[in-house]
Structure 1
Amino acid sequence: MRMSTWIRQHLAALRALLVLTVITGIAYPLVIFAIAQLPGLHDKAEGSLLRQDGKVVGSSLIGQAYTDGKGTALNQYFQTRPSNAAPSDGSIPDGYDPTNSSFGNQGPESVVDTLDPDDPKKDKTALLSTVCSRSQAVASLENVDGSRPFCTSGEVGAVLSVIGPRDAKGTVENPVRVVSVNEDCRVTKTPFLAFYKGVAVECAKPGADYSAGQIVPVRGDASADTPVPTDAVTASASGLDPDISPAYAAIQIPRVAKARGITEDRVRALVDADTHGRVLGFAGEPRVNVVELNLALDRQYPYRG
């Protein structure tokens, strides 16, 4: 009797396994495949591929780096936002490697650089200093003001370690020492701020530990309304985002128009045509697909070099 029950239970389990295998392993994939072949859905199912002269040149879903391969921007193209999707071997220095999608894993509290005592090239840059340096690089390329509120003129975060006794709130009111933690003494002899609460500010010595002090970002005089938008200096979560903000596209129009020898109005018209609104009218922000925009530029106004 027990054996008969055991056999019936296992036969029922086997039948359930076979039925579910047919449904989820065969029928469901076939139905989805058939739906993907419908007009209007087929191209998306194939990867939203973009073609130029009959050749696949990319996807509207994955960004590309428009540089010379060494990090130098090509003036005839709109630039994408920074990318963290780069192989560790440096074979694709500008990122946008679809096999290595990644994020920087840094947040708003990432404001203190780690200065290597032996080799400055091995410094670990905090998000704030990364934003500062990227902002100045974009500003230089686009001929705009790249200063930002918490950045020094040396393109690092304006952050102090204020050392001294703390009050009940953890604030150092009477410091005995103040260090500009992101300004390397090997590079910067005069810190961005001469004095803080009456104490002379020092530059940072690589390898020294200033964590005992109160970390104080200094806002500075730069306007918060910077011409260089946030997406121009921060990477997306995937590192593969093909879109930029209309504001970032706008500051690039003069450079691209000059490089291609056409009027800014013609370039602006292409930007407007490639600007997409919020998803479903409310989700996200307006965006410009850089890959599609650059392909449209090449089709209508080829670069003569």
Structure 2
Amino acid sequence: MNFSSLLRQHWAALRALLVLTVIVGIGYPLFIWLVAQIPGLKDNADGSIVEVNGKPVGSSLIGQLFTDDKGNPLPQYFQSRPSAAGNGYDPLSTSASNLGPESIVDTPGDPSLPADSNGYKASLLTLVCSRSKAVGDLDGVDGKRPFCTGDGVGAVLSVIGPRDSTGNVVHPTKVVSVNEPCTTTQRPFLDIYEGVRVECAKFGEDYTVGQIVPVKGAAPDPAVPADAVTASGSGLDPNISPAYADLQIARVAKARGVSADQVRQLVAENTDGRTLGFLGEPRVNVLELNIALDKKYSNKS
């Protein structure tokens, strides 16, 4: 290949690069930006930023926490659903917990290490149980759920003993409440199981040799709705169900010194129906509702 031929090939490649740079690097982004400025699309394209007195306070598309500097819920505000995105609603760490319905046994922590770094990991069941108890305590309702202990952990036993041909233990010799460590001063949630005294779990022991048995218990149908105890797939859901909003009305009304009916009316005004009348479920945007509360009923707590 002579020099002139090589030069022509490189010049053709350079021209292709320049053309594609203009089209893909400048023209296409500019076209998309112009489309995004069409009325009806502009708000979403700009991030759906919500402002109060000219200052941005959040996005209507991304949830946020309404807690104090110690992580305690502020009683004068409606609370969002849980989030598994970073430390909560972090757009740079959007994710789910990736825990499924079979996640019922906690990973125990080393009692010799600090609680925040001992390796403990709660199962999905225990997360649901603890959140339900916390919501119940905060909003003055019964936070008990089936398959949960009174202390808010998964009610799960490891039943050890000889098994039949189907794999079920027929004569238990040892029964352990796997999600209740022996560091607690309380007895396990169940005293006796099939004639065997229930023990609490000890760190370092392997209870997978036993048959894992979740215990439903006698708890009624949950008063705390599902979205109050489970995170969304993205961890950024800004909405809660009308049922969860209704659960919080009495607390918010008391904290603001107004009647429950006044707050209930504001909730109704900030409840959106199904998209296009049939997609999804009715929902309440927590940030917009709390802003409406601050505008109409200033915080008196």
Tell me, yes or no, whether TM beats 0.5.
yes
Deviations 1:3-24 (A, max 9, x none): 9999888777666554443332
Where in structure 2 are the equivalents of 1:169-208 lying within 5 Å? Answer: 169-208=166-205
User: Equivalents in 2 of 1:113, 1:41: separation in Å?
Assistant: 45
2:148 to 147, 151, 170: 151
What is the CA-CA distance between 1:41 and the residue it aligns to? 2.4
Deviations 1:206-249 (A, max 9, x none): 221111111110111112x2110111111222222211111100
Corresponding residue of 2:79: 79
User: What code does the residue aligned with 1:222 have?
Assistant: A
> CA RMSD, aligned part only?
2.3
User: Equivalents in 2 of 1:257, 1:144: separation in Å?
Assistant: 15
Name the % identity. Answer: 63
2:288 to 272, 289, 292: 292
What is the CA-CA distance between 1:294 and the residue it aligns to? 0.3
User: Equivalents in 2 of 1:4, 1:169: separation in Å?
Assistant: 81
Contact map agreement 1:116 1:207 (CA 8 A) in 2: no
Residue 265 in structure 1 maps to residue 261 in structure 2: yes
What is the CA-CA distance between 1:96 and the residue it aligns to? 2.7
What is the CA-CA distance between 1:70 and the residue it aligns to? 0.8
Contact map agreement 1:191 1:202 (CA 8 A) in 2: yes
What is the CA-CA distance between 1:160 and the residue it aligns to? 0.6
What is the CA-CA distance between 1:263 and the residue it aligns to? 1.7
User: Equivalents in 1 of 2:167, 2:113: separation in Å?
Assistant: 34
User: Equivalents in 1 of 2:154, 2:79: separation in Å?
Assistant: 24
What is the CA-CA distance between 1:65 and the residue it aligns to? 0.9
User: Equivalents in 1 of 2:49, 2:152: separation in Å?
Assistant: 38
User: What code does the residue aligned with 2:37 have?
Assistant: Q
User: Equivalents in 1 of 2:6, 2:211: separation in Å?
Assistant: 69
What is the CA-CA distance between 1:278 and the residue it aligns to? 2.4
Deviations 1:33-57 (A, max 9, x none): 1122223322221110101111111
Normalised to the residue count of structure 2, the TM-score between the two structures is 0.90
Structure 2 runs not aligned, ≥5 long = none
Corresponding residue of 2:23: 23
User: Equivalents in 2 of 1:63, 1:154: separation in Å?
Assistant: 28
SS at match of 2:138: helix
User: Equivalents in 2 of 1:120, 1:179: separation in Å?
Assistant: 24
User: What code does the residue aligned with 1:22 have?
Assistant: V
For these two proteins, the number of residue pairs brought into alignment is 297
What is the CA-CA distance between 1:188 and the residue it aligns to? 4.6
User: Equivalents in 2 of 1:69, 1:299: separation in Å?
Assistant: 23
Corresponding residue of 2:33: 33
Corresponding residue of 1:302: 298
Structure 1 runs not aligned, ≥5 long = 88-94
Corresponding residue of 1:222: 219
Normalised to the residue count of structure 1, the TM-score between the two structures is 0.89
User: What code does the residue aligned with 2:237 have?
Assistant: D
Deviations 1:139-193 (A, max 9, x none): 0111000000000112111101011122222211222111111111221542222
Residue 107 in structure 1 maps to residue 100 in structure 2: yes
User: Equivalents in 2 of 1:31, 1:200: separation in Å?
Assistant: 71
What is the CA-CA distance between 1:256 and the residue it aligns to? 0.7
Contact map agreement 1:188 1:203 (CA 8 A) in 2: no
What is the CA-CA distance between 1:116 and the residue it aligns to? 2.2
Contact map agreement 1:189 1:203 (CA 8 A) in 2: no
Q: 1:169 to 1:14 in 2, by over 3 A?
A: farther
1:282 to 278, 281, 287: 278
SS at match of 1:99: helix
Q: 1:281 to 1:243 in 2, by over 3 A?
A: same
2:233 to 237, 242, 267: 237
Contact map agreement 1:165 1:172 (CA 8 A) in 2: yes
SS at match of 1:183: strand
